[in-house]
Structure 1
Amino acid sequence: MSQKLILASNSPRRRELLAKTGFSYQVVVSEIDETLNENFTPEENVKSLAEQKAEAVSMNDPDAVIIGADTMVCIDNISLGKPKNEQEAKQMLKRLSGHVHTVMTGVCIKSSDVNLSFVEKTDVAFYDLTDDEINDYISTGDSFDKAGAYGIQGQGALFVKSINGDFFSVMGLPVARVYRELKSILN
């Protein structure tokens, strides 16, 4: 691999997933304003945020291949980001309880000669959750750095009745598709 590969994310889950590709990479955290554009659909927002993250990092290293990603949970056309506090986490989990929601991960792979963006969508069905289950989960602290207030790879897996789509996209990076795209770019 002749080009440097950079992941524009501080997410431990994205680092773990990108490591599965076998490509060597560096992490450079993009500092962007993640405020959602109210004129955009959730899909447009998640794609735009991934593109902004990649663009911000590429400005300092234009010859590298940059991966920007963003994940969002949507239900009833409402976007659920990372909860700001315990009350917001409870509200999000109550909203998801007993329903199907969509997890969207936007990805942007950017270099001097590549600018590829896509959104991977996965439908996740939750069991009906009791208040005790929600409170116990929130007390673990796992809710606060995850869109929709849960992580499918941890104790949040206990809420999941079924998924239709890419499990790893729900974790934050559709790693199989990213691997295939990188393989065509870097080899």
Structure 2
Amino acid sequence: MQPSIVLASGSPRRKELLEQLGYQFSIIRTDVEELRRSEESAFEYVSRLSQDKALAGVALEPNSIVIGSDTIVVCDQTVLEKPNDFEHAKQMLMQLSGRAHQVMTAVTVANKQNQETVVVTTDVWFKPLSEQEIKQYWQSGEPCDKAGSYAIQGIGGRFVTRIEGSYYAVVGLPLFETDQLLHKFL
């Protein structure tokens, strides 16, 4: 009998993306603290968070294959996480305005015996943003819970002039890499 698949994420975007792959799965929420350690690179940080989420899921569902994932935005070696308030979001969006940044999404697939992690980095370019555009965008409510204060799949997509890499990784779950990892465990 094939083990069940569990997505350790409360993100509706990750749920929708995993559904696109055609898998049957359940969802659990794990309580993983998202706090970067002083010595961690952005790559190490996003990898650890996805691993922590997957392993927390395995602890709750020990007979399942668990997917953990995390997404961060990186600009000038600075990790841009979810905004605390409008001023924080404005600061991040002004930093992204008119230039390129990286979106890093890590995916970990784990069970009791094994775990494997892949990090997908996508380069994203923004058009120059005005303060008025940023204010209107904030008022939409969309940036409030998004890394880097934007959602490429939503209204924030109007700011993106080009990407190099995986669109789905920017949304929150790289489809190709997730599917490849799952095949190793099924």
Range into which the TM-score falls when normalised by the shorter chain: over 0.9
Query: Is residue 74–residue 102 contact of structure 2 (8 Å, CA) maintained in 1?
Result: yes
1:185 to partner: Cα distance: 2.2
Q: How far apart, CA to CA, are the structure 1 residues paired with 2:95 and 2:28?
A: 34
Shift of residue 3 of structure 1? 0.5
With the length of structure 2 as denominator, give the TM-score of the two structures: 0.97
Question: What corresponds to 2:2 in structure 1?
Answer: 2
Distance 2:183 2:77 in 1: 34
Matches of 1:72 and 1:96, distance apart in 2: 13
Measure how far apart 1:113 and its partner are: 3.1
Q: Which residue of 2 aligns with 1:111?
A: 111
Of 157-166 and 105-114, the range deviating more from structure 2:
105-114
Query: What corresponds to 2:101 in structure 1?
Result: 101
Asked if 1:141 is matched to 2:145, the reply is: no
User: Which structure 2 residues correspond to residues 9-158 of structure 1 after superposition, within 5 A?
Assistant: 9-158=9-158
* C-alpha distance in 2 between matches for 1:166 and 1:63: 31
Q: 2: distance between equivalents of 1:79 and 1:147?
A: 9
- CA distance in 1 between partners of 2:115 and 2:56 (Å): 14
- DSSP-derived class of the 1:39 partner: coil
Partner of 2:185: 185
Pairwise CA distance, 1:59: 0.8
For 2:62, the aligned partner's letter is: P
Q: 1:155-166 alignment to 2 at 5 Å? A: 155-166=155-166
**SS of the residue aligned with 2:82?**
coil
Q: How far 1:76 moved relative to its partner?
A: 0.3
User: What is the number of equivalent residue pairs in this alignment?
Assistant: 186
Q: Percent identity?
A: 38
Q: SS of the counterpart of 2:161?
A: strand
Give the equivalent residue in structure 2 for 1:170: 170
Residue 143 of structure 1: SS of its match in structure 2?
helix
- When structure 1 is superposed on structure 2, of 3-12 and 55-64 the one drifting more is 55-64
Question: Partners in 2 of 1:34 and 1:24 — Cα distance?
Answer: 28
Question: Counterparts of 2:184 and 2:51 in 1: how far apart (Å)?
Answer: 20
Residues of 2 paired with 1:38 and 1:73: CA distance? 17
Moved over 4 A (4+): none
